Chains A and B, each alone.
Chain A
Amino acid sequence: MDVVLQAIGFVFQWQTLAALAAGTVYGIIIGLLPGLGPSAGMALALPLVIKWDPAMALIFMGSLYKCSTYGGSITAILVNTPGDASNAATVLDGHPMCQQGRGGVALGLSATSAMVGGTIGMICLIFAAPMLAEFALKFGPAEYFLTAMLALSIISAVVQGATIKGLIAAGLGLLLSTVGFDVITGHLRYTFDWTPLEDGVPLIQALVGLFAVTQALVLAESAASISRLARLAGGFWEGVAIYFRHPVVFLRAAAIGLFVGVLPAVGQSSAGLLAWADAKRSSKHPEKFGDGSPEGVLASETATSACMPGDLVCTIALGIPGSLGAAIFLGVMIVFGVAPGPLAFTEKADVIYSLFVALILTSFVIFVIGMTVARRLAVITLLPNDIIVPLILVISLLGSFAIRNEMSDVIISVVFGALGYVMLKGGFTPIPLLLGLVLGEMVETNYHRALLISGGSYTIFHASVISQVLIALTVLSLAGPYLGSYWRTLTQGEK
């Protein structure tokens, strides 16, 4: 307890608070810019903080890392472009809210979600990290394969509202994910000797295309503005009030976000979507989801914010990073002499607990920034399309170029933009495709790994209790819509 009190004392010094606020603002800006993620942000900031006191530097980096997903939610809501795959579900309801002139309400929801989700996640991280990490280790290749399959089937079945269309899009995503270097066999597939594809279809570049370029094309069809009303209805505080009227929804979303966040490599991309699907399933008005339902925004953003502390569980407790961002944070911790792992909690307790206290505090700083700055951004939705379309295209394609300084990446984004536009006109949402692309490698490599370990025997896929539960849930989520009204309500929420 002493150590926690000392940590609180350390964090509430003005220097620490300044580092924390700077990290938060920097993280939000990094999140706002397409193509610049937390990993690049932390690497660029490293020379700046290298001479700082370790605890202070880690607080700066930690708040930067934690806040970058919030920046992504702002662009998801206002211009239909998630900053990262983790904000994809926010697009579903956040952007329709903007079209109805309720952008300010949506921003209020996302800022409150970042505060509440982040705080719940951090509290669980502080008290249950070693336990959660032990649980994550129980997941071997077979369990990872089944988890990814479950996430894909839930999302395809629910996001679209039509299971078959969702599965078609997800299948297309899975097919595209086979492009590039096959990690297990070492072969190059479907690259047509074009080097930029050897790593596979680059994710952020595809995301920029599917969302930003497609959105620019859609907006270019009319001379109006994003908001169909000439003025904004409702504001930031209405969003905050709506948020706290749905305690069950946000608690469930936080639990889902934390749970999938703990599993290395699953979390960030699917947490928001799974929580969105769950909220729709259990809502009294599932038909409003995807059409500007505030519950959709709050479920997706709360899960995404709770996911990040989950992501840090294995990183800090075991020294095993769960995502690229976490891997870089791990590297930063080592540079500052805090070797992550089970011993960190005893050997470097002062630094670790200061970091935890600070990360709880950043959740509130995000809210203050959302309240003072981000809410004003809602006026963007009133700008005429002939100003906003070139802006979206220039900023997003520049972001796509900046990742590897390659013109080929811009081409990839434009191709995905065209694909997204065609899909949209054909009545498909690009989200299952995106998720298929993100999880495809996980599905394929873990399937292959499981069979390598078992020597080709399929029994490995139902050997553990975790696997059996995952199989049952997958079958239920896919077959549910066809089993009559009781099962349909249970799995899809439709009456």
Chain B
Amino acid sequence: MMKTLKVLAAAAAVFLTAPALAADYPSKPVKLIVTAAPGGGEDTEARAIAPFVEKHLGTTIVIENQPGAGGKIAFEKFQKAEPDGYTLITYTFPKSVIIEYQGKTNYRTKDFTPIFAWSRSSQLLVVNAETWKTFGEFLKAAKTKKLSGGLSGRGSTTHLMGLIALDELGIDANWVPYEGSAGSVAALAGKHLDFTICLATSAVSLIQAGKLRPLLLFSDKRDPYMADVPTPKELGYDMSFIPTLRGVEAPPNTPPAIVKVLEDAFRKAAAEPDFIAVAKKRKMVLEPVTSKEFAKAVADVYPRIGKLQNMLKEGK
């Protein structure tokens, strides 16, 4: 009797150990969750990279859109997903962290397992081309009168970046939140607002057309697609930035062996010439961010967003 039990226990132990699982990974299609409706920036980027990842991973990628509550519904389901490498999520980081600070959530971004991020984008300060010509002129005007500034949402990364910038520049503004950047950019082009803070990609067509003028890029280095826009450092300001990354994560407690397989596949996919060509057309700034660097970005961003959200609650 004891002997049979021992054999059974040994058999169970073999079944329960992880290596067997990782060795033949992936053996079935991988589901990639997009936390927004089909067609937005997150969705198109996921669909753009998916075919190249399929090539290097050797399995099909099935994209599933789970929009709702800014992605919160998807994040909460993802927290409980099986960490077997067959369910992944892609979104614009640090959107999930901002949602955590805005209310009760049943997930923690720092629990997720970062895999790889392929692009980084920076915020831009734009004004109507018929108004100020340089950042100096804009600053002078902002010091004499309270200007109204468009945002792509209250508590969004554009809002947080705006708060950091105004704090450092010593000015104040009437914030006017929109839903997404299309509205705030259009209102600026119609001169209903004085300035707008948005992602560079949102304003690029009106900038090229000469309707809007970019005055400042919130980044450490200049953007290759708009090389003539200065950064705060060049103008003598010391600002910290909120990085915006597009990448992919796995559920909490995913085994390192699986993370390694996935990270390699995504890294190789992001380096494919055909993917780089698509990225160029979309004016994405490609920048490989490894699993380790991604994890560090997640850890770093918590205290910063926490501090800014407190400023928001105090009514700034």
- List residues of chain A with CB under 8 Å of any chain B CB: 39-40, 42-44, 46-47, 50, 136-141, 181, 183-186, 188, 193, 195-196, 198-199, 264-265, 314, 318-321, 324, 327-328, 331, 334-337, 339-343, 404-406, 445, 449, 452-453, 455
Contacts and interface: CB of A to CB of B under 8 A. Distances in A.
Interface in B148-193: 148, 153-155, 174-179, 182-183, 185-187, 189-190, 192-193
Contact of A43 (B47, B73, B104): B47
A327 B186 CA distance: 13
A141 B193 CA distance: 10
Interface string B206-232: 101101000000000000000000000
Interface in B1-43: 37-41, 43
B108 interface: no
B72 interface: yes
B59 interface: no
Interface string B34-76: 0001111101100110110000000000001111111011001
A141 B146 CA distance: 18
User: Which 7 residue pairs spanning A and B have beta carbons closest together?
Assistant: A43-B38, A328-B39, A341-B205, A319-B205, A140-B192, A137-B190, A198-B69
Nearest to B207: A341
Contacts of B72: 195, 198
Contacts of A405: 64, 66
B278 interface: yes
Given A184-B154, A324-B37, A449-B176, A318 B43 contact: no
Given A321-B182, A404-B67, A47 B39 contact: no
Contact of A183 (B38, B154, B174, B190): B154
B102 interface: yes
Contacts of A455: 146, 174
Contacts of B44: 43, 46, 331, 335
B186 A318 contact: yes
B273 interface: no
B193 A318 contact: no
B141 interface: no
Given A39-B37, A453-B174, A320 B43 contact: no
B154 A44 contact: no
B174 A181 contact: no
Given A318-B189, A406-B73, 14 more contacts: A40-B37, A181-B70, A183-B153, A184-B154, A198-B68, A198-B72, A265-B183, A335-B282, A339-B205, A340-B205, A404-B65, A449-B177, A452-B148, A453-B192
Nearest to A143: B192
Nearest to A185: B154
Contacts, number: 148
A331 B190 CA distance: 22
Contact of B68 (A47, A183, A265, A404): A404
Contact of B174 (A265, A319, A452): A452
**Interface residues on chain B, size class:** 35 or more
14 contacts: A46-B44, A136-B186, A186-B312, A196-B68, A198-B69, A318-B209, A331-B41, A335-B278, A336-B281, A341-B208, A406-B68, A406-B73, A452-B148, A455-B174
B103 interface: yes
Contact of B282 (A183, A319, A324, A334): A334
A141 B186 CA distance: 11
Given A183-B179, A195-B76, A449-B176, A335 B190 contact: no
Interface in B277-315: 278, 281-283, 312
A331 B37 CA distance: 13
Contacts of A181: 69-70
B33 to A, nearest CB: 10
Given A195-B76, A198-B72, A335 B48 contact: yes
A197 to B, nearest CB: 9
A185 B102 CA distance: 12
B195 to A, nearest CB: 12
A337 B278 CA distance: 8
B276 to A, nearest CB: 14
Contacts of A445: 179
Contact of A318 (B68, B69, B177, B205): B205
A138 B206 contact: no
Contacts of B312: 186
Given A140-B192, A340-B205, A320 B185 contact: yes
Contacts of B148: 452-453
Contact of A331 (B40, B192, B193, B283): B40
B97 interface: no
B275 to A, nearest CB: 11
B204 interface: yes
A342 B39 contact: no
Nearest to A134: B190
B72 to A, nearest CB: 6
A453 B195 CA distance: 12
Contact of B47 (A47, A140, A185, A327): A47
B70 A453 contact: no
A181 B189 CA distance: 27
Contacts of A138: 190
A340 B187 CA distance: 18
Contacts of B51: 47, 50
